[in-house]
Structure 1
Amino acid sequence: MIDVRRGLAACVLALVVLLGALRPGPEGWVAGLGCALVLAVAAGRRAGADGVDRLGPADLVTLARATLACAVAALVAGSFTGDDEVATLVALAAVALALDFVDGRVARRTGTASSFGGRIDGEADAFLILVLSVHVARTEGAWVLALGLVRYVYAVASWVVPWMQRRLPPRYWRKVVAAYVGVALVVAASGVLPAAASYVVLGVALVLLAESFGWDVVWLWRRRGVNRADAGDVRKGKSLQQNR
């Protein structure tokens, strides 16, 4: 177990070292460190709200994924100025996706699963998908951005629509969909598939996301008139990907 502030500071420092090895341009440094600082502040505030002062082993794995996602963001930013390191970007994203299968198992085996861990796990998923969608949209079309933006559109809607603030029931399918979308984006970014096949893979990802979020919205709509004793979780930053 490690203190939250020290753990988050260590992640930012690790990103600095990683960026030093990757050597992105100035825009990459700004994007990577900017994302890391925002995520660190958000995670710190979430930990404070949840009364968490120590990070468990699974939390550290999740934060390592978030650190890799920030490095991917740096490479994506660099690609807009001609410094397109596709192989490195795909490798980092693939490692981050692989770690997504690790943190949940670590949490269960060490008995350290928590709502805080579930939240930062979901946010790490969402952020990596957003960054990858920005990169892939350059070659596959602006419609791919929907894969990365839908989570944040839902979050904004949940802030302004009262009946969307109810706690959603656990659903492992959300995690499966997030994993597929991440893999689909990495495959598309790698360029290993023909253009038509890549479109199909990404199209399936969009359909799955629409089903997953649509199911949640319909579930919430049907219960909009019921007493919301558990409402407010979304206001506090609750992620849809709540279960590791």
Structure 2
Amino acid sequence: MALNNTYDGYDARPVQQETAVGAGAQILLLALLGTAIGMGTAGWLTGLAFAFATWAVLSRALHRSRLPSFGPANRVTLGRATLVGGVTALVADSFRSAPPVSLLVGLTAVALILDGVDGKVARRTGTSSPLGARFDMEVDAFLILVLSVYVAMDQGPWVLLIGGMRYVFVAAARAWPWLTAPLPPSTARKTVAALQGVLLLVAGAELLPHAVNTGVVLLALGLLVWSFGRDVLWLWRTARTRGGAPAAEVMRELVAQ
């Protein structure tokens, strides 16, 4: 995919170089995993596809946003994305043979821990941006999807509801634009989102009896259904009471409250 380096005086090369470094780090991690566990073709292809897709989409988004620099917070998120790529490769390879659970748990745990770091770095350095927030959210969502695939191999396909719910919401927003209105800040929403990875990791670690793991995953699904249901209800009520006001107008009203 060819990307122009300059556009109206904007030099995209510095940020593109950082995304290229991220792709290189991803390939290096895959090489280390492949050496350590003898990863099969599915793992390699999935990991490489993830690396290429991350590089291509992120490079394009950075070019369009015209950020002057990549920023420290985005570097943390890119490092987390690299770990998620490793987890993705391991899960894809698990259809051939079970990967070392400790390795998968270790990579996932570090990725989840870093999820609480990039936001703090962005705020402390004054480098918060809509692109950075979206990048962070997409990495989170994809990790949850991959973990749900892994846990579903033991618990059943119903676990995929956890990983797929956010993507169903995005698809539904294309049919019902009122779902795209901005939501008010919510600690509960953030807590539920953070718990998804933790609970799926607990179930995937296979340290507890099967029945207990089932309960853990059901808890994660129940919390997610409650969180999405509450937000959809709020958006629906807002669209009705405000006559389907544009998202920008709704946000102005929220700020004024």
Normalising by the residue count of structure 2, what TM-score does the alignment of the two structures yield?
0.85
- Contact 1:12–1:36 (CA under 8 A) maintained in structure 2: yes
Match of 1:16 among 27, 30, 33: 27
- Give distance in 2, aligned partners of 1:8 and 1:194: 42
What's 1:6 paired with?
17
Paired letter, 2:69:
R
- Give distance in 1, aligned partners of 2:143 and 2:14: 25
What's 1:35 paired with?
50
Paired letter, 2:25:
A
Structure 2 unmatched runs, 5+: 1-12, 252-257
What's 1:119 paired with?
134
What does the per-residue CA deviation read over 1:194-226, in whole Å, with 9 as the maximum and x for residues that have no partner?
112111111111111111111111111112223
Shift of 1:72: 0.4
- Find the structure with the greater CA-based Rg: 2
Shift of 1:53: 4.0
The worse-fitting range, judged by mean Cα deviation, of 55-64 and 171-180 is: 171-180
Paired letter, 1:226:
G
- Contact 1:3–1:54 (CA under 8 A) maintained in structure 2: yes
TM-align CA RMSD: 1.8
What's 1:129 paired with?
144
Q: Secondary structure at the match of 2:208?
A: coil
Does residue 48 in structure 1 map to residue 63 in structure 2?
yes
- Contact 1:62–1:100 (CA under 8 A) maintained in structure 2: yes
- Contact 1:93–1:186 (CA under 8 A) maintained in structure 2: yes
1:191-210 equivalent positions in 2, closer than 5 A: 191-210=206-225
What's 2:254 paired with?
none
Quote the sequence identity (%).
48
Shift of 1:42: 2.2
- Give distance in 1, aligned partners of 2:181 and 2:194: 25
Match of 2:163 among 148, 161, 165: 148
Shift of 1:229: 4.6
Does residue 228 in structure 1 map to residue 251 in structure 2?
no
Structure 1 unmatched runs, 5+: 234-244
